[in-house]
Amino acid sequence: MKDIGFVVVGAGNLGTNLSLALQNAGWNPLLVINRSSDKGNELASRLNCDFSAELKIPQQKCVVFLCTPDDSLSGLVAELNLTQNIIVHCSGSTSMDIFKGKFKNYGVFYPLQSFTRGIEPEWTKIPLLIEASDEYTFGVLEKIAGTLSRKLYRLDSENRLKCHLSAVFAANFSNHLVYIAENLLKDSGLPSDILYPLLNETIDKLENHGAYLAQTGPARRNDRITMEKHLKILEEDPSLQKLYIFVSDQISKLYKT
Amino acid sequence: MKDIGFVVVGAGNLGTNLSLALQNAGWNPLLVINRSSDKGNELASRLNCDFSAELKIPQQKCVVFLCTPDDSLSGLVAELNLTQNIIVHCSGSTSMDIFKGKFKNYGVFYPLQSFTRGIEPEWTKIPLLIEASDEYTFGVLEKIAGTLSRKLYRLDSENRLKCHLSAVFAANFSNHLVYIAENLLKDSGLPSDILYPLLNETIDKLENHGAYLAQTGPARRNDRITMEKHLKILEEDPSLQKLYIFVSDQISKLYKT
C-alpha cells in the first residue's frame, strides 16, 4: 500500500472509474462522499472503505478528488470544510482558481476520456492533464498520475479548456454526425453498423497521417456534382442542408489549390 | 481459378485494392486499362495480366470494373466499345442508369470503404452494396462479392446515394472536426495524439449503444456555462463559433426533456 490515502467526492462514472484505478495502483481509499447513499455505499464497499453522505473531509493526510459534475464544483468548494490536504477537481472546463484563497495545496487532475459505467478503460493510455498550486502539489499529483498512465501533461486552466473544447469537436460533435448518418441509413433500410468498418478505417488513417492528410470525400475534391446530389437529398431538412454546406465549404476552402 | 475473368479500368487506390482482392479470391485478372502506363503497368504486373492504355474491352467473357473517379464515369461509358460482358461501376454517388441503353448486363459494385494505397483493408468486413440490371447480373455480382465480404446488400441507386451521404457525414465531416480539434490542441502546445484514446472510446461506445445513447458533452447536458466558456475561446474565429453553436443547438434540442 502506498503512503498517500485518497478521498473521492462523487460516486458517478468518473468517481467510480478513477477510485477503482487508484486502488488498483496501490493507493489507499479512505472515504467515499456522495449525496445519495445507494451509489456511495456501493462504491465504498467495492473500495472497502468508509462512506459518508456528509461533505466533510477527514484531517488525515490524503488527496481529495472532486468527481462531481462541472456545474456543482464551485458550490461544493464553498461548502467544504478547510483542510490541510491536497484537493483537486477532475474537470476539463473548470479553472483551478475555484480553490484559490480557500485551500493551500490544490490542483486539477483531468483525465481526457469519457467514462462509462461498467466499462474499465485502459488507464495506461489515458492522457492525464495536471495542474497544481505549487511544486509540492505537482510532485504528489504526478506521482499518483504516473502510477495510472504513461501520458502526463502539465497544463494551465486556459489551455486545459482549449483541450476540452477540442475534445468536444472531435468526440461529441463527431458522435452527432454519426447520429445524422444513422438516420440517413435508416431511411435507406440499412443497419447503422454498415458504417463501422469505414469509421474504424477513418480513425486509423487519422492516427497515421493526421486529419489534414487523411481527409477524403467530395468536398476535399471540390466535386460539385456529387455535392449537388447530396443537397438534393437533404432538401426536406434545411438545417441538415445548412450543416452540409457549411462543413463542405470549410473543407473545400482548406484544400483549394 | 474461378471461371469468370475480370477487367479493371483505373489503377488508382480503389482499382488496385479491388483487383488484388479479386485475384486473391481466385478470380482471373485479364486486363488493366489505365490512362497512364506507369501505374497501369505496375498493377498489371502485380496481377500478372495484360495492360492497355486504350479503352477497349476484350470480347472474352468477363466482368468489367470501372474504378475511375466519379466525375469521369459518364464520359468513360460514352467512349467504351459495346460489349456483351457485364459492366459495373464502383461509385456510391453515381446512378446505375449511366449504363442504360448502351449495355445489356450492368450494375454497381460499391464497397463502403475509403481505400489507401499500400494499406490492405479487411475485405471480409467491408459492406458491398450491389445493384444490377437483371437477376442474371445480380447472380454473378453476388457470387463475386460473396468471395470478398460477408456483408452484401442489394440497394438501388437512390438509396446508395443516401448511404454515400451518410458516410460523408460520419467519416469525411468527422475527419474535418478532428482537424479543427488538432489545431486547437496545437494552440495549447499539446500533440494531436492526445485525442486518440478518446476517439477510440467514442467509436467503441457508438458501436455498442448507437449514437443517440452514446452522446455526451456540454450540449447533451445543455450545460450553458461550459458552452459559453468554449464560445469565448472561439471569439477570434467566427466561422468556428458558428459551427459550434449550430451543432450544439442541434444536440441540445435533441435531448431537451
Query: What is the C-alpha separation between B163 and A51, in angstroms, rounded?
Result: 51
Beta carbons of A227 and A248 less than 8 angstroms apart? yes
Task: Out of A121, A165, A218, name the one closest to residue B233 (CB).
Answer: A165
> Which residues share a beta bridge with A9?
A33, A66
Q: Which residue of A has its CA nearest to B161?
A: A230
Q: What is the largest CA-CA distance in chain A?
A: 69
Task: Out of A164, A169, A239, name the one closest to residue B177 (CB).
Answer: A169
Q: Which of A6, A3, A164, A24 lies closest to A87 in space, CA to CA?
A: A6
- Grade residue B1 by pLDDT with cuts at 50, 70 and 90: low
Q: Which of A125, A10, A29 lies closest to A70 in space, CA to CA?
A: A10
Measured in residues, chain A has a length of: 257
Task: Out of B70, B151, B195, name the one closest to residue A166 (CB).
Answer: B195
Predicted local confidence at residue A1, as pLDDT: 53
Say what the ipTM of the complex is: 0.93
At A120-154, the pLDDT tens digits run 889 999 999 999 999 999 999 999 999 999 999 99
Beta carbons of A124 and A149 less than 8 angstroms apart? yes
Quickly count: other Cβ atoms within 10 Å of residue A156's Cβ: 13
Q: Kindly calculate the radius of gyration of chain B based on its CA atoms and give it in whole angstroms.
A: 23
* N-term to C-term CA, chain B: 60
Q: Which residue of B has its CA nearest to A158?
A: B188
pTM over 0.80: yes
A169 secondary structure, DSSP code:
I
Non-local (6+) Cβ contacts of B106 within 8 A are B86, B87, B88, B96, B99, B100, B132, B133, B137
Residue found under cell 473545400: A252
At B44-101, the pLDDT tens digits run 999 999 999 999 988 888 999 999 999 899 999 999 987 789 999 999 999 999 999 9
Q: How far is CA A125 from the centre of its chain?
A: 13
Please give, rounded to a whole number of angstroms, the shortest distance from the CA of A79 to a CA of chain B.
20
Question: Are A199 and B201 within 8 A, CB to CB?
Answer: no
